Chain A
Amino acid sequence: MTGTETCANGAVSPLLSERLPIADDPALKFAEPWEAKAFAIIVKLAEDGVIAWPDWVACFSREVAKATAAEARGETPKSYYAQWLDAAETILVEKGVTSREQLLARRFAAGSVGSGHTMA
């Protein structure tokens, strides 16, 4: 590594040199129940026509791009399903299904201690 490999904006892109995480889980189950639920909520809403799948992909892609940029800066990106959940809340707020205020209020009602965790 010479340190001279740069991408367009001048920053070294670790994405282009990093090896692939090939040794992954063969079963591909969700790691935690909330991941499965967050996944299923969006797929079901899309199946039922509440959200259009291309709109979802556009919204989710923005979260993935943010995480990819964080990874390129050497930070630890949010997990895949954390990105998914951020996008889920965003698209439902954008579509007027809920609001940030309602989400926050409901989180406290559901037992959130709000320990410095801000709205995503």
Chain B
Amino acid sequence: MAKTKPAPVESETAIRVRALEAILIEKGLIDPKAIDALVDTYETKVGPRNGAKVVARAWFDPAYKQRLLADATSAIKELGFSGMQGEDMVVVENTDSVHNVIVCTLCSCYPWPTLGLPPVWYKSAPYRARTVSDPRGVLKEFGTILPEDVEVRVWDTTAELRYLVLPKRPAGSEALGEEALAALVTRDSMIGVTVL
């Protein structure tokens, strides 16, 4: 079991990172200010609210939904969110007969521009292994029980392709505007482990 221990002044790991950073700065490969700005972006600006706006727009505007399903990279860019590594986005739509779940079996590839950084469980070995071998069992742990006749599709994210689930619009949300719709969308529903 992991024991809690008092934090040292600077851990060996922190020193390793500082050493690596110093070498890269010396070689002119990174600018410390750019590194700080990037950390700030990921800590405060990029997150599942971005994805929720994409989903709400798709629910609200059928033409946008069509563009999103045909070319997600461009449609997501329309809202100002774009890939950091130029990877392509694919949006997979949940329907009455199909439910989609995303995973990265090899590491932790994740649609950063729309969801931010992945949760701990997404990166965990059990999730990476079991989403493929037993997707319904995984969904059940999130409290998601789907009818037997719904097909569960698992999408394995790669370096080049990142998936985002377009959840089913909740019943009773017909009268809501785009902003109110976005407030209904959760991170987990866009990973596909829950439904709305």
Determine if B30 is an interface residue (Cβ-Cβ < 8 Å).
yes
Query: Please, which residue of chain A has its CB at the minimum distance from the CB of B12?
Result: A117
| Contact A40-B39, Cβ < 8 Å, known A22-B121, A61-B107, A110-B15 | yes
Q: CA separation between A25 and B117, bound complex, in Å?
A: 11
The dominant DSSP class at the B interface is: helix
Determine if A12 is an interface residue (Cβ-Cβ < 8 Å).
no
The dominant DSSP class at the A interface is: helix
Interface contacts (Cβ under 8 Å), in number, total: 163
Chain B residues with CB under 8 Å of A40's CB are 35-36, 38-39, 42
Q: Scoring B residues 28 to 42 as 1 if CB is less than 8 Å from chain A, else 0, what string do you get?
A: 011000111011001
Number of A residues near B (Cβ < 8 Å) is: 63
Q: CA separation between A107 and B123, bound complex, in Å?
A: 29
Q: How large is the interface on B (under 10, 10 to 19, 20 to 34, 35 or more residues)?
A: 35 or more
Tell me whether B116 and A46 are in contact (CB under 8 A).
Answer: no
Q: Which of B130-174 contact A (CB under 8 A)?
A: 130, 133-134, 138, 141-142, 158-160
Identify the B interface with A (CB < 8 A).
Answer: 2, 10-24, 27, 29-30, 34-36, 38-39, 42-43, 47, 84-87, 106-109, 116-121, 123-130, 133-134, 138, 141-142, 158-160
